[in-house]
Chains A and B, each alone.
Chain A
Amino acid sequence: KQEVTQIPAALSVPEGENLVLNCSFTDSAIYNLQWFRQDPGKGLTSLLLIQSSQREQTSGRLNASLDKSSGRSTLYIAASQPGDSATYLCAVSSVKYSGGGADGLTFGKGTHLIIQP
């Protein structure tokens, strides 16, 4: 059974710092990996999706890398801002269903990030 672990569980840093969030998964047979953001009391917003054949994806100040063989991904946030404060969730889709649709996601428990002004 796939298990996803995120480290650290919580992180508080001053505004402007670059930071790295870590994600590891136990079964390397994944279809893709996604990073989501969740604000308090809200749903999830997709940040980046990395297909299993890719090594990294970038969007603005965010960069996500994937090392499938070692079962690891990192989310790099450059020049952090108070608006980046949220919980960041890592999720993997396993190679289980190939009927033309997406597979269900296995989530980590998230990293609760606070950016101090």
Chain B
Amino acid sequence: DAGVIQSPRHEVTEMGQEVTLRCKPISGHNSLFWYRQTMMRGLELLIYFNNNVPIDDSGMPEDRFSAKMPNASFSTLKIQPSEPRDSAVYFCASSPPRGGETQYFGPGTRLLVL
């Protein structure tokens, strides 16, 4: 049973470039979450979807960030334009439809913006 799949695992880009992070949740899960982890701020929720619909995007830091979930098996987090302060590890997690269940995290994408 494959876990949450994220790509790429590592991304190095230059300031001003567009960055797209991808996530494939566990099959059958209907909730998907994007988190960001930095040394200073720890793990923070950016946005989450339920049944492909965005429920809460209050954690998205600014308009440069956008997320989509076109279907139940794929989500993207896009940063445009990227800035050095966006450097962090971005995690995707998914959860089954029963509610109150644990979240299963992907391995993360380590992003470095130069």
Contact = CB atoms under 8 A, between A and B. Distances in A.
Interface of A: 31-32, 34, 36, 42-46, 49, 51, 89, 91, 93, 96-110
B51 interface: yes
Interface of B: 30-31, 33, 35, 42-45, 48, 50-51, 55-56, 59, 91, 93, 95, 97, 99-108
Nearest to A31: B100
Given A31-B100, A106-B45, A108-B42, A101 B30 contact: yes
A100 B103 contact: no
A26 B17 CA distance: 39
Contact of B100 (A32, A46, A109): A32
A6 B111 CA distance: 26
Contact of B59 (A97, A104, A109): A104
Nearest to A108: B42
A104 B97 contact: no
Contact of A97 (B55, B91, B104): B55
Given A31-B100, A101-B31, 11 more contacts: A44-B93, A89-B43, A97-B56, A99-B55, A102-B33, A102-B101, A104-B33, A105-B103, A106-B45, A107-B35, A107-B44
B55 A109 contact: no
A59 to B, nearest CB: 12
The 8 nearest A-B residue pairs measured at CB: A101-B50, A104-B45, A102-B95, A101-B31, A107-B43, A109-B42, A44-B105, A43-B105
Q: Which of A32, A45, A104, A105 has the most C-beta atoms of chain B within 10 angstroms of its own C-beta?
A: A104
B33 A97 contact: no
